[in-house]
Every structure is written in structure tokens, then in C-alpha cells.
Amino acid sequence: MNTESHSQLAAFIWSVADLLRGDFKQSQYGRIILPFTLLRRLECVLEPTKADVLGAAREHQAKPDAVREKLLLRAAVQPFFNASPLTLGSLSDTQTADDLMSYVQSFSQDAREIFEHFEFEGFVQQLSANNLLYQVVQRFAAIDMSPKRLSNYGMGLVFEELIRKFAESSNETAGEHFTPRDIVHLTTSLVLTGQDDKLRPHGIVTVYDPTAGTGGFLSERDEYIQQGSQGVTVSLHGQELNPESYAICKADMLIKGQAVEQIKLGNTLSDDQLPGEHFDFMLSNPPFGVEWKKVQKAITDEHNHKGYEGRFGPGLPRVSDGSLLFLMHLVSKMRPRQEGGSRIGIILNGSPLFTGGAGSGESEIRRYLLQHDLVEAIVGLPTDLFYNTGIATYVWILSNHKPAERRGQVQLINATGRASKMRKSLGSKRQFVADRDIEEIVRLYGAFQESEESKLFPVEAFGYRRITVERPLRLNFQASPERLARLDDEKPLQKLDEAEREAIKAACATLDPEQRFTNHDAFLKSLKAALKEAGLKIGAPVQKAILSALSERDPEAGICRDKQGNPEPDTGLRDNENVPLGESVFDYFEREVKPHVPDAWIDEEKRDPLDDRIGIVGFEIPFNRHFYQFKPPRPLEEIDADLKACTDRIKQMIEELSA
């Protein structure tokens, strides 16, 4: 059966939706059509051994469930069985719902579980209530999905086409569960480039997706390897949070004859169901910009208590975007380099490239990835590629077993111009990456050379030290009525009893209101004399409050100094400078700061907690800056001519309206 025939069969199956129109929402069609398709395919696959399974079921009915299940699986010669004598074609027209659910309950556990996650029974009851169930059952019973007519690979294509149609029919949520095939194909191709040594005949490779969705990445990876490498066994592993997507993923794999016991349901970040496992290849398209508040306690506890022994040792991103948590989770699943290492392809939005300054969780995660030389390449994709968002996205390729020429280097590839327009938009997806562009992007990556679309950088190029630049505090002091009135706003004075507070204010008022002091020590001497004259003794907090109320910043005033004679920093003038990682902070300061502010100094107390050197280390990847091309503005004459043409048109339209 060719690809066109697969599409025709999928279209015929989807035509069942004609029966559902009016009684069900369009977004519900897939929840009915997909499980019925699965049910019919499983039935057709099991048909040759059905009599053997029924015989084994009678023979072993007294045995414990676990033993009986193994014996029935052996009789079915498949990774699943059904022990009911019923078929879709033999269901009663009077008690269809009861018969159908009895039939489904007779499947082996993995298959039965899929129907539970589809909430199949609820839809069966709805169909029954609308007098549609028997018609739908008869329609599916008439479709030939036997392996003789349709191979596992062919059935996989049909099922994927149905998943696509489901995604289109409910595209307000499709992007959460369904990665467009062009992006899956591109990411898969990038991750497998140059990996021939791992894809040896008769070898076993493990593939993992922690955000499995409907299984697109896993299926594509399996198909890619099977087509290009003869005799390689692919072991698929994944976890998915959404029960319906999880059911579709398992169904897709069962339909293709793949093992499904390593596909898990649950939240990957808070409940990793494949702990301690490591994989050869990993792919993921985690949700963009989704907060992780619901699982914050579990993740924070792991970070605080396990540190680098856990998944989130380097740091935690802000709670509004968990993308980097998925990336760190994947890094924790890498095989040790001495065992062949691992490669990762993950799709992220722009935020993980640059969000968070030096010392932030995001920056510390980037620092860990780059300083451990795990980042091979980042590919900037065109906009409008996904079903539920048009934002800019990037494919990160990571490896802990880089080839020699890539060590210490990061490749940035700008593929933002490699988009083709969709004939018909699907939600926010207005563009796709055509096969020829996928091939060219993969070629650019494999070539590892500088070009207009490809740039190479040493890892250190993305690092910097944030130094704190201080400038001295310069204040003038005056006991003017306006400033004396500010004494009432100072908290240390508010805490005093009223008599003492009024006595202090009166003492300050004895100072000459016209005299403006530009020297801190001279004013302090006059203030202390006035207080002594009034017989008052005050503590340091009250003295500080008086100085604060009676002072104003003045660039012409002298420098305020502490008891040791050191200049006091002016917090209002405090600034930060980012010094390239390989450069001396002092050389940079003398060259870039001193000529402009000669009285500035570096706060040498601000040191990086990891290397204890001056300045906090930060890492960011300013992707767009490296590919920016200046376009000079159009000549003024050209702009004026356009404006004149526009105003002339408006005048003409007004004249036509008033005529």
C-alpha cells in the first residue's frame, strides 16, 4: 500500500466523523475515532491466533492472573491478547455498549489501559445514548486492517495521519501534545548526524523522550534508524503527563508492534518514572514558558538536598518557565562518556538563551552546560512553525562525547530564513521547513564551518564577570526649614518619646539655616556641638537618621567617609559592568570605566561563589546579535515621495466621498 493509499484509508476512517456531527464537538472526534481504530487493528492482528487464545483461556482459567496473562501472550504470539469470543462484527445490536465494554475489558493489561486513558467507556455511553454506537461499530468492523493488507509501518502512517487530523480538529490544544512533523524530522536528523558508530547492525540503541506527547519523536527516531541501519534494535522510552496523549502514544506503538512497557504516565519533573536509567539518544519538545509552581516543592527539595547528585544541581530557573528543568533532566540521563555518551535534541523558545543575569538559576544552568562542554549547536528556526504559538524557537543539540574538532566550541546556525508557506494555516502554524531546507540545515551542521548562516564560537565567548562599580557618596548638609521637616519621617526618631524627639529637633534648629555644608565631617562637628549644648546624647541610628534628613546629594560636595577613612559608596550611583570572561577585571576597569568616572572603584567583596574571584560569573547566548545585519534606512527623498503618494490618495478618496 503506497503513501497515497494510506492517506485515503485515514480519510475513510476519519469520515466516521460524519456520523458524529451535531452530537459531538469537533474537538471530540479524535477521542472516538482513535480508540476505535486501535481496537479494530488489534482485532485484525489477533485474528490468526484467536482460537488458540480462547482455548488457552479456557484451559488456564483457574491459574493466577499473572501466570495466565503470560500463557495467553504466548498463545497470541503478540505483545497483547484478547480473551473474549466477541469481535466488533459480532456485537449485539440490542446491548452493544455492554458487549463492547466486556470485549475491551478482555484485553491484556497494556492494551486495556490505553482505552481507560481515552476515557473510552464514557464516549461509548454517549454514543449509545445518541443511538450512534451500533452504526460506528459496524463502520469499523467493515474496515480491513489486517497485517496482510497493512504492515505495521503502514498502519503507523495511517494512525499518524489520524492523529494529525485530530490535532487539526482541536488545534487550540494540539501544540501541547503534537510536535509538527517537519520539526520532528529536522531535530531527529540533527541528533543522528555522525552517529554511525552507534547504529551498527545487530546493535541496540535506546531512545527517550520525557515529554512524549503522542509519540511523534519516538516514532520518527525509530523509523529513521530502521530505514538507515539494517538490523538495529531500537528500544523506546518515554513519559507523558497528559493521559489522552499518553494513550495515543501507547496506541501508536502497539499498532506498530513495538513494546510499550517503557512508556510511562506522570509528571517527569516531580515523578521521574525511569529513575537511574541512561539513554543513547534523547529528544524533547517541552511546553514553552510553562510555570512549574505545582511541582515547586518537589523540585526545590531535590535541588537543596541532592545537589549535583540529583537532576537540578546547578540551579533552578524562575518558576514562570520550566524549560531548562527539562533540559537538566535530560542531561542527568546521559550515558557516561566511557560508555559511548549520549546526544540530546531539545526544542526551546528564546528565553533559555539569555533570561537571567549573572548568578541567576538560568545563568548557572547555562554555565554548567557550557563549561562542561555539553552544547554542540543551537539552530534558530523560523517563526510560525507550531500549532499554538508563532514565537521564535531554537533546537539545542547537546553531547557529552563531542568529536575532537567540536570540543570547546559551540556552533550557532541561523535557519530563520528557511521557511516555506503553508497552503492552509493550522492554528498558529503558517510555515513549515521543507525537506530541501532540512537537508541544508543538517549539511551546515555536519560541515561545522563558518558561513553567513553558521558561526563557531569558543565556549568562553558566552561568559562574563559582572563586577560592581561603586562611586563615592557626596552630600551637602543644611538645617533649612524644609529639611528640618523631614526629621518627622525618619523611623529611628519616630521610635523616641515625644519630649526627646522635640528636644533633638529644637537642637538641630539652632544651626544656621542659611549655611550649606559641603564637608561631611565639618557638619557632623557642628551638629554634635548643638546637641551637646542642649544636653542631648544620641545613638548611632538616630545620628544617621538626622544626617539623612538634613542632607542632599551634591556632585560638587566633598566625599563622605566611614570611620576607617574609606569613601562611602553612593547606592544611587552603583553600577555593574560585564567583563568578558577571559579578560582581567582590572584591565577592563582602567580602560572602560576610569576615563569616564575617575573616582570609581571595584567592590572587591563581590566574588563568584564557585571560583572566589572578583565578579559574579554569568553566561548568556545572544543568538540574534551574532547574525544581525545592519540595513541602512531608506533615503529621505524616497520616504517623502511615499508619504506624498499616500496623502494624495487620501485627498482623492475624501473628494470622491464629498462629491
User: pLDDT per residue over 334-362, tens digit each?
Assistant: 999 999 999 999 999 999 999 999 999 99
Task: Give strand ranges (E) for 195-291.
Answer: 204-209, 233-240, 263-265, 281-284
Identify which of 221, 197, 340 has the alpha carbon closest to the alpha carbon of residue 283: 221
Task: Give the closest residue to 622 by CA, choosing from 465, 467, 462, 466.
Answer: 462
DSSP 133-184: HHHHHHHHHTS---TTTS-HHHHHHHHHHHHHHHHHHTHHHHHHH---HHHH
Judge contact between 290 and 345, C-beta under 8 A: no
Q: Which CATH class is domain 170-462+625-633?
A: alpha beta
- Whole-Å CA distances, 514 to 336, 478, 480, 481, 522: 76, 7, 7, 10, 15
User: Quick one: what percent of the chain has pLDDT higher than 90?
Assistant: 69
Give the pLDDT of residue 162.
86
pLDDT tens-digit readout, 36-52: 999 999 999 999 999 99
**Cβ proximity of 94 and 137 under 8 Å:** no
What pLDDT does 259 receive? 81
> For the range 71-79, what are the long-range contacts, defined as Cβ-Cβ under 8 Å and sequence gap of 24 or more?
72/108, 73/108, 75/49, 76/46, 76/49, 76/52, 77/49, 78/45, 78/46, 78/49, 78/257, 79/110, 79/254, 79/257, 79/259, 79/260
Dihedral angle of Cα 399, 400, 406, 410, to the nearest 10 degrees: 60
Tens digits of residue pLDDT in 121-144: 999 999 999 999 999 999 999 999
Asked if 90 contacts 102 with a C-beta cutoff of 8 angstroms, the reply is: no
Task: Give the residue from 522, 196, 243 showing the smallest Cα distance to 340.
Answer: 196
d(CA 171, CA 410): 36
Helix or strand run (H / E) with residue 592: helix 585-592
DSSP per-residue letters across 171-214: HHHHHHH---HHHHHHHHHHHHTT-TTTS-TT-EEEEEETT-TT
Q: What is the mean pLDDT of the chain?
A: 91
pLDDT tens-digit readout, 261-311: 899 999 999 999 999 999 999 999 998 888 999 999 999 999 999 999 999
Q: How far apart are CA 270 and CA 535, in angstroms?
A: 66
Chain centroid offset of residue 318 CA: 12
Q: Which amino acid belongs to residue 639?
A: I
* Contact status, residue 246 vs residue 212, Cβ threshold 8 Å: yes
The band of 174, judged by pLDDT with boundaries at 50, 70 and 90, is very low
- Tell me the per-residue pLDDT of 179-212, one tens digit each, with 9 for 90 and over: 888 898 999 999 999 888 888 777 889 999 999 9
Helices 152-169 and 29-46: crossing angle in degrees, nearest 10, is 170
Q: Outline where DSSP puts E strands in 210-284.
A: 233-240, 263-265, 281-284
Give the relative orientation of helices 243-255 and 216-228 as an angle to the nearest 10 degrees.
20
Question: What is the average per-residue pLDDT within 239-256?
Answer: 86
Q: How many CB atoms lie within 10 A of CB 609?
A: 9
- CA pair distance 468, 426, nearest whole angstrom: 49
Q: Give mean pLDDT, residues 525-540.
A: 92
Among 60-64, 396-400, 432-436, name the one with the lowest average pLDDT.
60-64
- In the chain, what are the domain boundaries? 1-167, 170-462+625-633, 475-553
Q: Are 292 and 319 in contact (CB under 8 A)?
A: yes
pLDDT of residue 120: 93
pLDDT at 219: 82
**Do 275 and 320 form a contact (C-beta atoms < 8 A)?**
no
The phi and psi torsions of 194 (rounded to 5 degrees) equal: 75, 20
Query: Which grid coordinates are listed for 461?
Result: 565567548
Residues counted in the chain: 659
Confidence of residue 606 (pLDDT cuts 50, 70, 90): very high
DSSP 634: P
Which three-class secondary structure string do you get for 380-421?
ECCCCCCCCCCCCEEEEEEECCCCHHHCCEEEEEECCCCCEE
Q: How confident is the model at residue 175 (pLDDT cuts 50, 70, 90)?
A: very low
Distance CA 221, CA 608 (A): 42
Taking residue 173's Cβ as centre, other Cβ atoms within 10 Å add up to 16
- pLDDT at 86 (0 to 100): 94
The number of CA neighbours under 13 Å toward the Cβ of 366 is 29
Distance CA 600, CA 546 (A): 27
Tell me the fold of 1-167.
Ferritin (1.20.1260)
Question: d(Cα 404, Cα 406) in Å, to the nearest integer?
Answer: 6
**What confidence tens digit (pLDDT) does each residue in 545-583 have?**
999 999 999 999 999 998 888 999 999 999 999 999 989
pLDDT value at residue 559:
94
